[in-house]
Chains A and B, each alone.
Chain A
Amino acid sequence: MASVNRRTILKGAGVAIPLPLFESTQATALTSKVSHRSTKRMVCLSNNYGVYQKAFFPKESGQNYETPPTLTALEKHRRDFTIFSNLDHGLTGGHACVPTFLNGIRPDMAASFPEGNISIDQKAAEFVGSETRYPSLTLKVKENNQTSFTRTGVQVPSIDVTQLYRKLFLEDSPEAKQQERLRIKRHTSILDTILDRAAVVNTTLSGQDQRKFAEYLNSIRSLEKKIEQQRPWLEKVKPSTEMKEPRPAKQTADEMKIMMELIALAIETDSTRVMTLATGFANGDFGLQGGYHGFSHHGELPEKTNALKQIEGNQIQQMSHLIDLLKSKNDPINGGTLFDHTMILFGCGMATGTHSCKNMPLILAGGGFKLGQHQVMPSEDHRRVMACNLLLSMLQNFGLELDRFGTSTGTLNGLEWS
């Protein structure tokens, strides 16, 4: 019954954004609209076990495919998303590929790549920088999120609905704020000292060294600026909401619904522009007894594949719900709806529960991409397209000027309108 109550509260849960913040957001929006491309958001949804492929991939390619069972809930948005076949990272390793969803690189291979196994969300977060309170948020429902990695290869810890709510709407204690102020102050004072003195070191160096050393000086200046930009967030009041602080629900579906509302609120309030979410299964969901992993090794047993269809169907249903929410909200920064400027990616680095990493499930929605079909990529070994090409397309759409990401060989054709 508790979940019913929560739902009624959520229904009325709008947000009240403190006026100054809202105005300033709009003010920057106006100016940025003139000079830049629109401000994009990125949401990546995943699970840890891939999908039951037979119920996931459409049989026909192109626009007029018959909606497969798992994707039923997305039917109403069919013009606004594309499902891809035959895209993957070309890796093996079963569960070890779950962390490759958003980077194409297994953690054990990271050392061989210039940017390690940084994931697209963290790459996008670096780009957003201090423009939002949180450069990115890594979220979980029922299971750990294994998809976000920094460029040092550290897996970003994930937070649940309660922690997310607190981050978005609850003011930090004065002590915690003080701690943070202190931290910033210490960093700045050391940077000041070094920068001050480094200039002296600089004058004593030879020309060649000076150039090398200029990198260091520039780094100090940029870092100072970055800290300086982050500092105001500490003093800025967070938006408030009528929504009550949620607790992790018993049923995955209920908790996912809350999570989707919060994600939409996070975007609406411009608290962050980048989120990843991983979700799982709780014993008892949909009246099912067992474990997600057990189901995923289905051996084509109907009771297990049916369970998977329900679990994955719900994940898609929640994605559909998020699309509903974003379509219903105006975008205060870009105009149009939030959905127009928010790209949503669904997928998993391990393609199916049987540990195959070939043919990853991948659905892209929103973000202003040209979508609305089942795009079948070449299936022959020598013509296969890397899934990182899709990730690169997303990063470029997000605004990054890049021509490579992870194991990409280019971008994906046909996603842009022009």
Chain B
Amino acid sequence: MLLLIALMTSRSIAAEIKLVNFFTEHCVQCHGPDEQESGVRLDQSINLLLADTRLMEKIVHVVEDGEMPPEEELQPPDNLIDEIIPILEDRIISQRSPNPLKRLTRFEYTNTLSDLFGVEFDLSHLLPPDHVEEGFDKFGDSQIMSPHQLMAYLETARFVAERILPLSKPETQTWDFDGKYFHGSKNFATGGGGDYLEDDEYVLTGFRPYRSNLHLSIDPEEHDQFAIPAFGKYRLEVSVRSDQSKEGEIIGINLGDGRHPTSFKTIKRIALPHRANHFETELTLKLGDQLAFTFDSARIPGKSLKKQEHKGPSLRFSRVKIVGPLEGSWPTKAMKAIVPNPDMSPEELVDHLAIMLTRNELPSEDRTAYLNIARAKLELTGSKPATARSILIALLTSPHFLYKSESQELTAIQQAHRLSYFLWNSIPDPELLNASKLGQLREDPREQVERMLMDPKTDRFIEDFTRQWLQRDKVSDFGPDVRVFKNVRRMTVDSMSREGRELFRYMLENGLSMELFIDSDFVMANDRLARFYGLPPVEGDNFVPVELPADSERGGLVAQAGFLKLTSTDFATSPIHRGSWILKNLYNMKINPPADILINEPDIRGTTTVREAILKHQELESCSRCHSKIDPLGFALEYYDPVGRKRNEYRHVEELVAEDDETVFTKKIKFTKAPIEANMTLPNGREVSDMVSLKNALIEDKEKIIKGLIEKLISYAHGREVTVADRPYVNDVFDSISEEEFSLRAAIHAIVDHPAFRKR
């Protein structure tokens, strides 16, 4: 034993000496006592240096990529690099900090309740959103707990408990509204007028709610709005048709007071197929909710129609029938699930609910506390549902429910949780739990993973992962300015934000290769996106694969309008933003803006100097390390404008400032044209000048990009950053799927099957 320790120590001492020699010979000249390029100094005590994991990771990256030592300096021999890197990797692995404790995200919480009780809650008005700067909201590091957050959990728990355990049966009612009860924007003081009643049909013409919306009053004479009387599921049966339209249209269902529509919240969009005259949908609504309909795919924002008759497409509503709250049975399924047997003792109730919510038995000390609540409540009220409510509220706010605790080696239950929150974004179902308890997840998880991927709940993973990975929710953050980008309408932008998700879904469902994220000979498109891309027409709002014409540059994530748009501002593209997006999201590279430097976002409005200004970055040593990689990738995409359309020249946009009596207002826009110069050279010497050469360069980097994507999936599944310490894991997954053409589905199987998936 002693010998072993001695042996290990001497081995590690030998390794350290090797490192010190390497640093002295190749690094210290610029990172030593005389100079500290980029603030890095490598002549310090080796133990101190090795303790700085971030620095070690940086060194691994720059040495491996051949960035350091710089080309003009003496290069270390390859076999030396091959010796050095594993030493650093081992050290990084041994120093990795444990995966932090994680709590449920808002989505996880909501989905979990939905799966437990079969009720689709919208808790966005109660639970704060989880904010993340980098990575995923599942990262324990970035999750905040505060009195505010905790109060939100308390209020949410009470809201949920009171809704799923009503003390009396709500009466199902039917409301039938026709033209007499319809109101629109012209009825309130803020103007409007883009809607009107004509022959018992209410006509919407514009997409702006304050120009055009339909809401319902309870009395034909008065303007008091209809409001939902009790929580529950409601069925809407709406007679509506489009007019003067050659395609399907999109109807928005919103919550909010139709008389003050600037704060509408869109809760659902309905695609009304061409020539349809009716739709039905079910919504979970709460007491006091007010419904309003909007014409989201309208061609114009909406204008007052007093002077001019509306000639374009319109939506015509003739009837809105609302039925609810709908309860299939009484007591409801959720009530039966929560109190399966009215004779249960408080003990049984506590145990039952604890297992239901946490999939685990409560520690005996904790059990007593919940039992006290249950007994006190039962004594006070004599009511089982009221008692169950109290236990539910306490459990839903307790750490047992809110936190996902994980031991060093995950227990069977913890394994099931990790897998379930990965692929369903929710709590495991009994089948998965049983399988895990029988050791199936340990031995061969394939069957369970396949079963889960076939389940519609996988939608949540697809939605949540792609929303965060591709920042799909930021596609519509800016503009587009309608004065500049005519014909790019809100539903086109909405379709752009869905494209990345639909591609992911299609690839997952069909076991396609992750190389298709780089380039493909098809794109996923619906009617609006196909038209926007100039592809053969697609019918309907659903996405289908569309084969690309030979001369098309589309295909792959970097040619998606959504990506090109979200990396641009109202008027201008941002090559730096685009380039760094590619590095961060395809290569999973960590890029931080340099500290203490004021970053001026490049503005294409001053096109003549932008390129020069940006190239300046590359001259400064501290900037060039990242910008020599970022800029060429971004500039190659300059032939695509801020909404992702091909362009051959810049349109310099200037808002003309009209000065009149010293009062400043901007009205008109002036365009000037300027040529595009996009070619640049990547650090590896490869030249990129446009979309095609960029994609070729990315394909060359296929291994790095696919590993980057694997890392994204792992970090999402584990709720932590993936670092150099995860290399063995990532490499194993990469190797095992190389025989399956790097299929996305295979990657998920390989991740779950890896021993690391069962570790904290």
- Among listed A19-27, A164-172, A287-295, interface-contacting one: A287-295
Least Cβ distance of A280 to chain B in Å?
7
A146 touches B260 (CB 8 A): yes
Which partner residue on chain B sits nearest A196 by CB separation?
A: B369
Q: CA A98 – CA B405 in complex, angstroms?
A: 44
Interface flag for A276 (CB, 8 Å) = no
Interface flag for B511 (CB, 8 Å) = no
Q: Which residues of B approach A to under 8 Å, CB–CB? A: 97-98, 100-101, 103, 124-129, 131, 133, 140, 144-152, 154, 158, 189-191, 208, 210, 257, 260, 262-263, 363, 365-366, 369-370, 372-373, 390, 393-394, 397-400, 402-403, 405, 473-474, 476-477, 479, 481, 570, 657, 660-667
B125 touches A152 (CB 8 A): yes
Query: Which residue of A114, A194, A215, A281 is within 8 Å of B398 (Cβ)?
Result: A194
A293 touches B189 (CB 8 A): yes
When A189-B373, A208-B98, A219-B149 are in contact, do A146 and B263 touch as well, CB less than 8 Å?
yes
Query: Which residue of B129, B148, B473, B666 is within 8 Å of A356 (Cβ)?
Result: B666
Least Cβ distance of A349 to chain B in Å?
10
Interface flag for A1 (CB, 8 Å) = no
A59 touches B101 (CB 8 A): no
4 closest A-B pairs by CB: A293-B191, A223-B147, A222-B147, A212-B101
Q: Given the complex, which residues of A lie within 8 Å of B260, measured CB to CB?
A: 143-144, 146
A190 touches B145 (CB 8 A): no
Q: Given the complex, which residues of A lie within 8 Å of B126, measured CB to CB?
A: 152
Q: Given the complex, which residues of A lie within 8 Å of B481, measured CB to CB?
A: 92
Q: CA A22 – CA B356 in complex, angstroms?
A: 52
Q: Give the residues from 349 to 378 in chain A that come closer than 8 angstroms, CB to CB, to chain B.
A: 351-352, 354, 356, 358-359
Q: CA A223 – CA B210 in complex, angstroms?
A: 40
Interface flag for A209 (CB, 8 Å) = yes
B147 touches A57 (CB 8 A): no
When A54-B663, A154-B125 are in contact, do A206 and B98 touch as well, CB less than 8 Å?
yes
Most buried by A among B103, B158, B366: B366
19 new A-B pairs (CB below 8 Å) besides A85-B664, A223-B151, A281-B189?
A57-B663, A92-B479, A95-B262, A108-B476, A108-B477, A116-B131, A194-B398, A197-B365, A197-B398, A204-B363, A209-B405, A215-B144, A216-B402, A219-B145, A219-B146, A283-B189, A294-B191, A356-B667, A358-B664
A190 touches B393 (CB 8 A): yes
A208 touches B100 (CB 8 A): yes
Q: Given the complex, which residues of B lie within 8 Å of A198, measured CB to CB?
A: 398-399
Q: Mark A109-145, 1 if CB is under 8 A from B, else 0.
A: 1111110100000000010000000000000000110
Query: Which residue of B100, B129, B149, B394 is within 8 Å of A193 (Cβ)?
Result: B394
Q: CA A334 – CA B44 in complex, angstroms?
A: 57
Query: Which residue of B97, B127, B129, B399 is within 8 Å of A208 (Cβ)?
Result: B97
B189 touches A209 (CB 8 A): no
Q: Given the complex, which residues of A lie within 8 Å of B390, measured CB to CB?
A: 190
Q: Given the complex, which residues of B lie within 8 Å of A291, measured CB to CB?
A: 189-191
B150 touches A219 (CB 8 A): yes
Interface flag for A406 (CB, 8 Å) = no
Q: Mark A219-236, 1 if CB is under 8 A from B, else 0.
A: 110110010000000000
Least Cβ distance of A157 to chain B in Å?
10
Q: Given the complex, which residues of A lie within 8 Å of B477, measured CB to CB?
A: 108-109, 112
Q: CA A208 – CA B112 in complex, angstroms?
A: 26
A220 touches B128 (CB 8 A): no
When A108-B476, A109-B477 are in contact, do A152 and B398 touch as well, CB less than 8 Å?
no
- 28 A-B pairs within 8 Å (CB atoms) are namely A59-B661, A86-B664, A92-B570, A108-B476, A108-B477, A112-B477, A113-B131, A116-B128, A151-B128, A151-B148, A152-B124, A153-B129, A191-B154, A193-B370, A194-B394, A198-B398, A198-B399, A201-B363, A201-B400, A208-B98, A213-B101, A216-B103, A216-B150, A220-B150, A223-B150, A293-B190, A356-B667, A358-B664
Q: Mark A89-114, 1 if CB is under 8 A from B, else 0.
A: 00010011011000000011111111
A193 touches B373 (CB 8 A): yes
Q: Which residues of A approach B to under 8 Å, CB–CB? A: 48, 53-54, 57, 59, 85-86, 92, 95-96, 98-99, 107-114, 116, 126, 143-144, 146, 151-155, 186-187, 189-191, 193-194, 196-198, 200-201, 204-206, 208-209, 212-213, 215-216, 219-220, 222-223, 226, 280-281, 283, 291-294, 297, 351-352, 354, 356, 358-359, 379
Q: Given the complex, which residues of A lie within 8 Å of B128, measured CB to CB?
A: 116, 151-152
B399 touches A201 (CB 8 A): yes
Q: CA A200 – CA B400 in complex, angstroms?
A: 12
Q: CA A108 – CA B477 in complex, angstroms?
A: 7
Q: Given the complex, which residues of B lie within 8 Å of A200, measured CB to CB?
A: 363, 365-366
Q: CA A82 – CA B147 in complex, angstroms?
A: 37
How many A-B pairs with Cβ below 8 Å? Answer: 160
Q: CA A113 – CA B477 in complex, angstroms?
A: 12
Q: Given the complex, which residues of B lie within 8 Å of A379, measured CB to CB?
A: 657, 664
Least Cβ distance of B123 to chain A in Å?
10
Most buried by A among B145, B476, B660: B145
Q: CA A61 – CA B283 in complex, angstroms?
A: 56
B570 touches A205 (CB 8 A): no
A190 touches B394 (CB 8 A): yes
Q: Given the complex, which residues of B lie within 8 Å of A108, measured CB to CB?
A: 476-477
Q: CA A112 – CA B149 in complex, angstroms?
A: 18
Q: CA A225 – CA B619 in complex, angstroms?
A: 56
Q: CA A107 – CA B476 in complex, angstroms?
A: 12
A155 touches B263 (CB 8 A): yes
Q: CA A226 – CA B150 in complex, angstroms?
A: 12
Q: CA A220 – CA B149 in complex, angstroms?
A: 10
Q: Given the complex, which residues of A lie within 8 Å of B405, measured CB to CB?
A: 205, 209
Least Cβ distance of A69 to chain B in Å?
12
When A53-B665, A54-B663, A208-B98 are in contact, do A114 and B150 touch as well, CB less than 8 Å?
no
Which partner residue on chain A sits nearest B99 by CB separation?
A: A208
A48 touches B373 (CB 8 A): no
Q: Given the complex, which residues of A lie within 8 Å of B124, measured CB to CB?
A: 152-153
Q: CA A114 – CA B100 in complex, angstroms?
A: 21
Q: CA A215 – CA B103 in complex, angstroms?
A: 12
Q: Given the complex, which residues of A lie within 8 Å of B145, measured CB to CB?
A: 215-216, 219
Which partner residue on chain B sits nearest A154 by CB separation?
A: B125
Q: CA A48 – CA B369 in complex, angstroms?
A: 52
Q: Given the complex, which residues of B lie within 8 Å of A223, measured CB to CB?
A: 147, 150-151, 154
Q: Given the complex, which residues of A lie within 8 Å of B97, measured CB to CB?
A: 208
Which partner residue on chain B sits nearest A152 by CB separation?
A: B128
A212 touches B399 (CB 8 A): no
Q: Given the complex, which residues of A lie within 8 Å of B151, measured CB to CB?
A: 223, 226
Q: CA A152 – CA B123 in complex, angstroms?
A: 11
Least Cβ distance of B430 to chain A in Å?
25
Least Cβ distance of B527 to chain A in Å?
24
When A53-B663, A143-B189 are in contact, do A209 and B399 touch as well, CB less than 8 Å?
no
Q: Given the complex, which residues of A lie within 8 Å of B479, measured CB to CB?
A: 92
Q: Given the complex, which residues of A lie within 8 Å of B667, measured CB to CB?
A: 354, 356
Q: Given the complex, which residues of B lie within 8 Å of A222, measured CB to CB?
A: 147
Q: CA A186 – CA B376 in complex, angstroms?
A: 12
Which partner residue on chain A sits nearest B654 by CB separation?
A: A381
Q: Given the complex, which residues of A lie within 8 Å of B148, measured CB to CB?
A: 126, 151
B262 touches A96 (CB 8 A): yes
Which partner residue on chain A sits nearest B102 by CB separation?
A: A212
Q: Given the complex, which residues of B lie within 8 Å of A281, measured CB to CB?
A: 189
B399 touches A194 (CB 8 A): yes
Which partner residue on chain B sits nearest A213 by CB separation?
A: B101
Q: Given the complex, which residues of B lie within 8 Å of A215, measured CB to CB?
A: 144-146
A201 touches B366 (CB 8 A): yes
Q: Given the complex, which residues of B lie within 8 Å of A201, measured CB to CB?
A: 363, 366, 399-400
Q: Given the complex, which residues of A lie within 8 Å of B403, measured CB to CB?
A: 213, 216
Q: Given the complex, which residues of B lie within 8 Å of A283, measured CB to CB?
A: 189
Q: CA A96 – CA B301 in complex, angstroms?
A: 13
When A98-B262, A154-B125 are in contact, do A213 and B191 touch as well, CB less than 8 Å?
no
Q: CA A412 – CA B599 in complex, angstroms?
A: 21
A292 touches B100 (CB 8 A): no
Query: Which residue of B152, B208, B473 is within 8 Å of A152 (Cβ)?
Result: B152
